[in-house]
Each structure stands twice: as structure tokens, then as C-alpha cells.
């Protein structure tokens, strides 16, 4: 056995090319046959061989040699032959922050058997997620070596931030045991994915790790006992706010990462096994109380969209349904609020056009009134202040508050909560108005106009005139029943383009997908926006 003979002679690593050359003295083997053999030996931990492009040229004959290489750093420096007094700062940096510099590697491995294979060894250690290379510094991270504790204030601030709408999830390992290597390798994988060129983009501690996903968007892994808590949020000088888009992405990446790391568990090798047989389960943020989490079983057992632990409304029903699956709520009625003042009948406008109904309410909240509305709906004031700079207009800020609120408090069951919020913000006139409010009046008004060919399809020329003269075009689209998700998708797709161009493209798509893109409907939408002058201009043009 050639490999056994090479091992016994003290050979630790050999190139596949040399192995093929030696074997060709007695037998003829194709390169692919040798690689297949090495892969088989690797599966039984006899050798270490990876077919990745930067690793496939060599094979490590003695896997323990890799452990010995890493042990030269992780062993107590008091027991090493290396003169630690000259590099005490390097040892401290490794022991406290888990940072291993290239210059330190050169010094420690300089006169050892590891040095000739230094680059290859480091690549193998990275491949095994034992270390990971920094993109911002000339160092490697060794997550398992970090002893610096995360300041309690950081963790407390983040956990208490759920009160302003942050959402999080946690991975709870069964048998009350979290294998330390799982967490450390998970952190290493996150570093390789998320660390960027900014030196402050990654913060490692013994019990948590913080990563900047993109500008002002962050995720934090926090180890507590047999659980890993994962938070995602937007953060800047104004404070923290929820980031559902990042939440979904991080959730998906985390599970993919865990599945890669936990292939040793039979649950991942046998597709017939149920989710319950996995070594962990997922719990998602319940209500806004700190450290409030619910499992899939608990969520599907609820009779109302309310937290079973605290009685408050769930943070985000939409996210919970994405992760745990959609379920039917048998009875999710809000407590009856001021039944003497609020009719039990459904508001007509909600049935007609829910998103435009929210848009109409938003149009009635000028200036700082949005702060009071957000507070009345249960949002934290910091969330509103944080989001102010994200929206081009006050109207869109208020609409976003209402839109996100309705996702976790679906109509019609949350109608009374909204009416109560309007009362609490001194908008009692709106409460009365909402009882009978309907969008039908705008079509009735449009039908009274002397429109030439009211049922004719709008022309591209009409859409150009509208897009050039309507500043808040999203309001127009909502009245025309363009889904908010489609509006957002178009805006993301055309990010950086002028507003009138985005408006034109959005209206063109509405026209191409809607057989009712008529002159009458367009005029009704413009009347809803109180743009009578523009309506008169179009009516005059159609008569020519």
C-alpha cells in the first residue's frame, strides 16, 4: 500500500501529480481514477483531499498533521518551544480577539515542517472552517480562540430593541447541548460571507459576533446556553429599526450554513426523517417583549394572532407564515373597542381597495402627526425617527407605517384597533368618515365629466403627460389597484432613475396588464389625488 508506506516514512502531504508518477512505475492510473480513490479515502478520514480548484493538487496523508499545525497556536504558549516574550502582543491578540496575523504565522511555523506547505495548510484550515481569512486586515480569525466578552450593554440594547419592532429568531439545540464547534464554525462561515473592507464591519466576542451585511444593515449571532439567537436590523446614529428583507436573507443563509455543518447528523442524510428528528428547532420572535419566541407548533396552535406568553399582538404574521407556513385563524377578532362609537360593519373602502384605503389615511396625517399615529399603533418612536430619512415624502413614511402595521394586524379584524388609534390621535372626524367612506365617489365624479370615449384605453401620450405632472405617482398607482409589492419591485429595478421615468414605466406596465386602463379610471385616480386641473387638461386633449 503506497499511501501507508509514505505515511510510515513520515510523509505528511504529497502532490497528486507525484502520487500518479510513483504509481505509474507499476500500474497505469488515470488522474480521475486517483482522485476518485482519494475522495473515497477522505470519506473514511484516512486522508484529507478536497476537489476544489485551489486544493485539488495536494493530498494530506495524515489528517492529524492539520490539527498539529493549528495546535501550534492554540496550545498554551507556556508549553510551546516558541520564544513568546518577543511576540507577547501577538499571543494576546490571538487569545483575546481570535486574530492570527500572517507575520505571526511566519514566526511560529518558520522552522517547522509546516512552513513549506504554509499556504496550502492555511487554505485547508479555512476550508474546514477552523479559521477564516479577513478581507479587511492581513489576519485570519480563529473564532474558537476569542475570550473577550461582549459588553452587556450591546446585548441588552439589542434585546430591548424588539420593543420598537425588531424581529429575530433563535436556533435551539436539543438535549440542552450546543456543540461548541458548531457555533465557532458558523461564525467563521459568516465572516467569509459578510465581512467587508471596513475594519469595523466585524466584531467578534466569546459569546456573540456582529456583522455588517451592507451599509447600515447588520446581523448579530448571540450564543446563550444551548441556543444561538440571530438578530437583523438597520442601525445608524438615529438608533435601530427592523429590516425584514435582511431578516429573510439571513434566516435562509443560517439554515443553509447549519445544514452544511451538520451533515454528520443522520437527519440530514435521510430525507425520510421528519423535521422533528433534526438536532435543533427554530423559534421565531413572538411579540415585542424581549426574548419572546414561539415555535412552529405553538404558532399553528394559536386561535388568535396574539402572543401566547404576553397577550400582545405578534410582531410580524407575514414573516411567521413565511417560516412556519400559512395557517388558518379560527377567531382573530380584536377586543371590542368602544362599541357605542364604532360600527361592527366592515369599512366599505377596505373591501374596495385596502392599500389605497391606507394611502388615503396617510394623506390625512401632515407633519409630525405621523409620530403620534405610530405610537398609537404600538410602534416605538425611535422606529419612526429612524425611517424618516428613508422616504422621499412624509406621505410615504406614514403609508409605510400603516402598511407594515396591517401586515401583522390583518383587516378586517384589526379595524377597531385602527379606529381607536385615529381617536387617540385626535382624528375623530376620520373615525366617522371611515364608517361610510368609499372610493366609488371618485368614479361617480369622473363619470359626470364630459370625457370623450371614457371607456377607451389610455394612450402612451396620456401616460407621459401624467408622469410629468404627478409628483406622488405611487398614490395614483394604489388607486389603480397596482399591488404595493409590484410598486416596490419596479422602484428597486429602476433605482437611481428619475421619478417621472419610474412613474412612466409603472403606468405603462399597469396599462399593458390591465384591460380596464381606461380614460375614466385614469381621471378617477387623478380626482382622488385632487388634481382637477390635470384632469381638465386631459379631457380637453381627448376632444381634439
Kindly state whether residue 436 falls inside one of the protein's structural domains: no
Over pLDDT 70: what percentage of the chain?
84
User: Considering the chain, what is the average pLDDT of its residues?
Assistant: 81
Query: Using 50, 70 and 90 to split pLDDT, how confident is the model at 237?
Result: low
Output the pLDDT for position 304: 77
Kindly state whether residue 273 falls inside one of the protein's structural domains: yes
Answer yes or no: is pLDDT of 271 > 60: no
Asked if residue 310 and residue 180 are part of one domain, the reply reads yes
Last residue of a domain, one of 379, 407, 431: 431
Determine the structural domain holding residue 100 and report its residue range.
65-145
Summarize the confidence of residues 116-138 as an average pLDDT.
Answer: 85
Answer yes or no: is pLDDT of 336 > 60: no
Which residue stretches of 388-456 are H helix? 394-408, 415-424, 428-436, 440-447
The highest-confidence range among 151-165, 212-226, 243-257, by mean pLDDT, is 212-226
Query: Using 50, 70 and 90 to split pLDDT, how confident is the model at 228?
Result: very high
Asked if residue 194 and residue 117 are part of one domain, the reply reads no
Summarize the confidence of residues 224-250 as an average pLDDT.
Answer: 78
**Are 335 and 414 contacting, i.e. CB atoms less than 8 angstroms apart?**
no
* CATH number (domain holding residue 398): 1.10.533.10
Asked if residue 265 and residue 159 are part of one domain, the reply reads yes
- The predicted-structure confidence for 337-362, as pLDDT tens digits, reads as follows 343 344 445 688 888 899 999 999 98
Kindly state whether residue 340 falls inside one of the protein's structural domains: no
Query: Using 50, 70 and 90 to split pLDDT, how confident is the model at 264?
Result: very low
Asked if residue 495 and residue 397 are part of one domain, the reply reads no
Asked if residue 70 and residue 56 are part of one domain, the reply reads no
* CATH number (domain holding residue 114): 1.10.10
Reduced to 3 states, what is the DSSP secondary structure of residue 331?
coil
Asked if residue 153 and residue 141 are part of one domain, the reply reads no
Reduced to 3 states, what is the DSSP secondary structure of residue 444?
helix
Answer yes or no: is pLDDT of 333 > 50: no
| DSSP state letter for 205 | -
Asked if residue 328 and residue 221 are part of one domain, the reply reads yes
**Are 502 and 491 contacting, i.e. CB atoms less than 8 angstroms apart?**
yes
Output the pLDDT for position 258: 80
Output the pLDDT for position 31: 84
Last residue of a domain, one of 145, 174, 205: 145
Output the pLDDT for position 302: 85
One-character DSSP codes across 283-351? EEE-SSSTT-EEEHHHHHT-SSSB-TTT-SBPS-HHHHHHHH-----S--PPPP--TTTS-SSPPHHHH
Output the pLDDT for position 10: 87
380 vs 4 pLDDT, higher one: 4
Asked if residue 424 and residue 449 are part of one domain, the reply reads no
152 vs 435 pLDDT, higher one: 152
Kindly state whether residue 167 falls inside one of the protein's structural domains: yes
Output the pLDDT for position 454: 92
Rg value, the chain, Cα: 31
* CATH number (domain holding residue 323): 3.30.310.200
Kindly state whether residue 75 falls inside one of the protein's structural domains: yes
Asked if residue 154 and residue 136 are part of one domain, the reply reads no
Summarize the confidence of residues 70-97 as an average pLDDT.
Answer: 70
Asked if residue 370 and residue 274 are part of one domain, the reply reads no
Asked if residue 328 and residue 194 are part of one domain, the reply reads yes
Output the pLDDT for position 505: 94
Output the pLDDT for position 512: 92
Output the pLDDT for position 514: 86
Angle at 15 between CA 13 and CA 18, to 5 degrees: 120
Number of domains in the chain: 5
Output the pLDDT for position 334: 43
Asked if residue 305 and residue 251 are part of one domain, the reply reads yes
The highest-confidence range among 32-41, 105-114, 524-533, by mean pLDDT, is 524-533
Last residue of a domain, one of 274, 304, 332: 332
One-character DSSP codes across 32-74? HHHHHHHHHHHHTTSSB---STTTTTEEES-THHHHHHHHHHH
Kindly state whether residue 376 falls inside one of the protein's structural domains: yes
Kindly state whether residue 514 falls inside one of the protein's structural domains: yes
**Are 490 and 502 contacting, i.e. CB atoms less than 8 angstroms apart?**
yes
Output the pLDDT for position 217: 80
- The predicted-structure confidence for 395-443, as pLDDT tens digits, reads as follows 888 888 888 888 878 887 788 888 888 887 777 778 878 877 888 889 9
- The predicted-structure confidence for 170-211, as pLDDT tens digits, reads as follows 999 888 888 888 888 888 888 887 776 566 678 889 889 998
Kindly state whether residue 394 falls inside one of the protein's structural domains: yes
Output the pLDDT for position 541: 93
pTM: 0.54
- The predicted-structure confidence for 467-505, as pLDDT tens digits, reads as follows 999 989 999 999 999 999 899 889 888 888 899 999 999
Amino acid at each position: 500500500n503506497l499511501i501507508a508506506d509514505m505515511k510510515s516514512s513520515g510523509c505528511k502531504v504529497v502532490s497528486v501529480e507525484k502520487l500518479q508518477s510513483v504509481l505509474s512505475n507499476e500500474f497505469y492510473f488515470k488522474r480521475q481514477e486517483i482522485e476518485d480513490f482519494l475522495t473515497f479515502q477522505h470519506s473514511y478520514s484516512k486522508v484529507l483531499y478536497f476537489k476544489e480548484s485551489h486544493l485539488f493538487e495536494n493530498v494530506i496523508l495524515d489528517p492529524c498533521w492539520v490539527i498539529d499545525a493549528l495546535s501550534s497556536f492554540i496550545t498554551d504558549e507556556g508549553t510551546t518551544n516558541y520564544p513568546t516574550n518577543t511576540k507577547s502582543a501577538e499571543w494576546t491578540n490571538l487569545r483575546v480577539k481570535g486574530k492570527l496575523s500572517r507575520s505571526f504565522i511566519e514566526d511560529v511555523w518558520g522552522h517547522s515542517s509546516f512552513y513549506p506547505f504554509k499556504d496550502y495548510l492555511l487554505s485547508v484550515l479555512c476550508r474546514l472552517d477552523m479559521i477564516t481569512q479577513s478581507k479587511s486586515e492581513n489576519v485570519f480569525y480563529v473564532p474558537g480562540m476569542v475570550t473577550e466578552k461582549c459588553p452587556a450593554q450591546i446585548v441588552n440594547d439589542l434585546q430591548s430593541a424588539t420593543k420598537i419592532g425588531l424581529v429575530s429568531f433563535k436556533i435551539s439545540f436539543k438535549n440542552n447541548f450546543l456543540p461548541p464547534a458548531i457555533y465557532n464554525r458558523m461564525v467563521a462561515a459568516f465572516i467569509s460571507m459578510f465581512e467587508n473592507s471596513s475594519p469595523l464591519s466585524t466584531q467578534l466576542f466569546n459569546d456573540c459576533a456582529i456583522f455588517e451585511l451592507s451599509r447600515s444593515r447588520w446581523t448579530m449571532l448571540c450564543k446563550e446556553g444551548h441556543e444561538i439567537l440571530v438578530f437583523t436590523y438597520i442601525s445608524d446614529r438615529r438608533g435601530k429599526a427592523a429590516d425584514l428583507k435582511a431578516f429573510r436573507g439571513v434566516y435562509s443563509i443560517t439554515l443553509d450554513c447549519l445544514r452544511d455543518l451538520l451533515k454528520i447528523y443522520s437527519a440530514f442524510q435521510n430525507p425520510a426523517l421528519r423535521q422533528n428528528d433534526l438536532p435543533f428547532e427554530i423559534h421565531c420572535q413572538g411579540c415585542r417583549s424581549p426574548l419572546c419566541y414561539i415555535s412552529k407548533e405553538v404558532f399553528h396552535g394559536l386561535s388568535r394572532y396574539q402572543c401566547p406568553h404576553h397577550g400582545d399582538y405578534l410582531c410580524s404574521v407575514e414573516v411567521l407564515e413565511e417560516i412556519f407556513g400559512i395557517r388558518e385563524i379560527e377567531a382573530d377578532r380584536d377586543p371590542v373597542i368602544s362599541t357605542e362609537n364604532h360600527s361592527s360593519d366592515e369599512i366599505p373602502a377596505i373591501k374596495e381597495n385596502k392599500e389605497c384605503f391606507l394611502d388615503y389615511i396617510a394623506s390625512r396625517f401632515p407633519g409630525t402627526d405621523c409620530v403620534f399615529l405610530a405610537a398609537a399603533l404600538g410602534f416605538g418612536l425611535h422606529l419612526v425617527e429612524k425611517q424618516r430619512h428613508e422616504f422621499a415624502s412624509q406621505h410615504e413614511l406614514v403609508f409605510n407605517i400603516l402598511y407594515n402595521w396591517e401586515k401583522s394586524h390583518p383587516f378586517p379584524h384589526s379595524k377597531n384597533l385602527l379606529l381607536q388609534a385615529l381617536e387617540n390621535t385626535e382624528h375623530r372626524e376620520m373615525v366617522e368618515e371611515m364608517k361610510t367612506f368609499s372610493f366609488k365617489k371618485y368614479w361617480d365624479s369622473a363619470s359626470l365629466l364630459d370625457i370623450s370615449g371614457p371607456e377607451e384605453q389610455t394612450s402612451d401620450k396620456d401616460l407621459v403627460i401624467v408622469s410629468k405632472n404627478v409628483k406622488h405617482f405611487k398614490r395614483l398607482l394604489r388607486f389603480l389597484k397596482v399591488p404595493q409589492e409590484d410598486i416596490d419591485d419596479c422602484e428597486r429595478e429602476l433605482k437611481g432613475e428619475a421619478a417621472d421615468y419610474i412613474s412612466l414605466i409603472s403606468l405603462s406596465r399597469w396599462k399593458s396588464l390591465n384591460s380596464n386602463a381606461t380614460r375614466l379610471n385614469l381621471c378617477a385616480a387623478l380626482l382622488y389625488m385632487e388634481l382637477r386641473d390635470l384632469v381638465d387638461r386631459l379631457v380637453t386633449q381627448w376632444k381634439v
